Structure 1
Amino acid sequence: MNYTDINAKIVDGWVKNGWEWGKPISHEVFEKARNGEWGVYLTPTKTVPHEWFGEMHGKKILGLASGGGQQIPVFTALGADCTVLDYSTEQLKREEEVGKREGYTPKCVRADMTKPLPFEDGTFDLIFNPVSNCYVEELEPIWKECARVLKPGGVLLVGFDNGFNYLFDEDETVIKYTLPYNPLKDEALYREAMDLDFGVQFSHTLDEEIGGQLRAGFILTDLYEDTNGGGFLHEHGVPCFVATRCVKK
């Protein structure tokens, strides 16, 4: 079993146990979105500016590693033509639950985003990728695939961890690890991650994140930072996440 299969199974368990990012939106939130009142997250606490999206009606959107019944149902309520790709079966089940409740059939694709995306060139107007690439070792192939499946002028929205979280112990008060954090290259670190039900996670640099998007042919148009939403680092105002908006050349 490779590390992405391990992560998919671990996320399935988190979702079954009530993971925050696997709780579908309510009917009330769906109805508010239909009436133009909505907000979605790329990072823990800040909603994405509406101007990052533009007109949503009829827009072809790919939710990349975006299962859980939170963002894609909102986009659907706004009139977008949505596809959600995720490697967690339980996350895709949450999409189906919302669709059944609200009377639509979501287009769900179970696939590993480290592999070539199962879509034709220039399929989508927008890709929405909330924090998830911390479960992936190599980012460059993902950015290239995003560029391939987006139309010219298409928008890529990404949320990611800046690496700070991977320095600290569980209480976030003691620097315990070194960067880059990569359990695949440290057997003791791997065993610890499995014992803690942490999954196989990876720290990434801004060069890998933003630089990688630029090298794949994107133009950065905006970004913002965010905190963990709780814990010692959050209480001290330390930004641990970044959201970026890029446009395909």
Structure 2
Amino acid sequence: MTENYTDINAKTVDGWVKEGWQWGVPMTHETFIAAQNGDWQMLLTPTKSVPRDWFLDDFHGKKVFGLAAGGGQQMPLLTALGAECTVLDYSPAQLESERKVAERENYDITIIRGDMTKPLPFADNTFDFIVHPVSNCYVEEVEPIWKECYRILKPGGRLIAGLDNGINYIVSDDEHQIVNSLPYNPLKQPELMASLDIADSGIQFSHTIEEQIRGQLKAGFTLVDVYEDTNGEGYLHELNIPSFWATQSVK
């Protein structure tokens, strides 16, 4: 494979957005206005809303960073609540959604195309709040990401993150059989890589609780709260088997 896997994944996500992917549908004008009026909710995982007490009491004047959070969903919401938002994503289509919402609603946002496997382009202690929807399943190593999040957050700043727990990677397409072992890493499993339709799935990775949650703790975070969520559809969802976590952590 000559092309970097993160470049492949950016193209894959662009394709999903064109097909109407849930996480690529930007916020409507009506939803933006409702958020300004106090009627809002945020998703980090498919079905469960983030608890209100995970958010700051007042976002006015606060600096918010959306890590791999393009798509015009979380950042418009927090802008409507008064935050000064910056978003980084590697998918041009996801960033275009951010631009469209900002232009429609006439607000400023800093939009950066960047690969989250690289050091983040910000000074230490820059942000008050970080939003990280489910997305680190598209990168091989997550612990460096937690270290970077800790570095760029101000003391007392919060990180809220959606995390894949790995269950989706062990099952067949219809989710009725266990067909793969963990960890799921196509870069280290040639037979798995050969079986992928990369244009359809990209190159994804399972991550352990040690990587996802202990990784945050090792970076210096204090874990404050956590919840589980399902896929929102499919056989695992019908059986109420959680496939995602969400965490709230504080520097």
Instruction: Provide TM-score, normalisation by structure 1.
Output: 0.98
- 2:37 matched residue in structure 1: 35
Measure how far apart 1:246 and its partner are. 0.5
User: Is it true that 1:174 corresponds to 2:164 in the alignment?
Assistant: no
- 2:214 matched residue in structure 1: 211
Paired letter, 2:196: A
- 1:18 matched residue in structure 2: 20
Paired letter, 1:2: N
- 1:47 matched residue in structure 2: 49
Q: Distance in 2 between matches of 1:146 and 1:139?
A: 11
CA RMSD, 1 decimal: 0.9
2:182 aligned counterpart, secondary structure: coil
Distance 1:196 1:10, change over 3 A: closer
1:62–1:82: 8 Å Cα contact kept in structure 2? Answer: yes
Measure how far apart 1:195 and its partner are. 4.9
Tell me, which stretches of 5 or more residues in structure 2 are unaligned? Answer: none
1:96–1:105: 8 Å Cα contact kept in structure 2? Answer: no
User: Is it true that 1:83 corresponds to 2:86 in the alignment?
Assistant: yes
Q: Distance in 2 between matches of 1:91 and 1:51?
A: 28
Aligned partner of 1:193 among 192, 196, 206: 196
User: Is it true that 1:93 corresponds to 2:96 in the alignment?
Assistant: yes
Distance 1:115 1:230, change over 3 A: same
- 2:70 matched residue in structure 1: 67
For residues 177-197 of structure 1, give each alpha carbon's deviation from its aligned partner in whole angstroms, at most 9, with x where no partner exists.
Answer: 000000001122112223561
Measure how far apart 1:19 and its partner are. 1.1
Q: Which moved more, 1:53-62 or 1:81-90?
A: 53-62
Number of equivalent positions:
248
For residues 211-242 of structure 1, give each alpha carbon's deviation from its aligned partner in whole angstroms, at most 9, with x where no partner exists.
Answer: 00000000000000000101000000101100
Aligned partner of 1:3 among 2, 5, 14: 5
2:148 aligned counterpart, secondary structure: helix
Q: Distance in 1 between matches of 2:60 and 2:34?
A: 15
User: Is it true that 1:234 corresponds to 2:237 in the alignment?
Assistant: yes
2:64–2:130: 8 Å Cα contact kept in structure 1? Answer: yes
Q: Distance in 1 between matches of 2:118 and 2:152?
A: 13
2:165–2:206: 8 Å Cα contact kept in structure 1? Answer: yes
Q: Distance in 1 between matches of 2:199 and 2:177?
A: 17
Paired letter, 2:45: T
For residues 110-154 of structure 1, give each alpha carbon's deviation from its aligned partner in whole angstroms, at most 9, with x where no partner exists.
Answer: 000000000011000011000000001001110110000000111
1:56–1:75: 8 Å Cα contact kept in structure 2? Answer: yes
The equivalences for 1:136-147 within 5 A come to: 136-147=139-150
Q: Distance in 1 between matches of 2:199 and 2:65?
A: 32
Tell me, which stretches of 5 or more residues in structure 1 are unaligned? Answer: none
For residues 71-127 of structure 1, give each alpha carbon's deviation from its aligned partner in whole angstroms, at most 9, with x where no partner exists.
Answer: 100100110010000000000000001011111232101000000000011000011
User: Is it true that 1:126 corresponds to 2:129 in the alignment?
Assistant: yes
2:203 aligned counterpart, secondary structure: coil
The equivalences for 1:97-116 within 5 A come to: 97-116=100-119
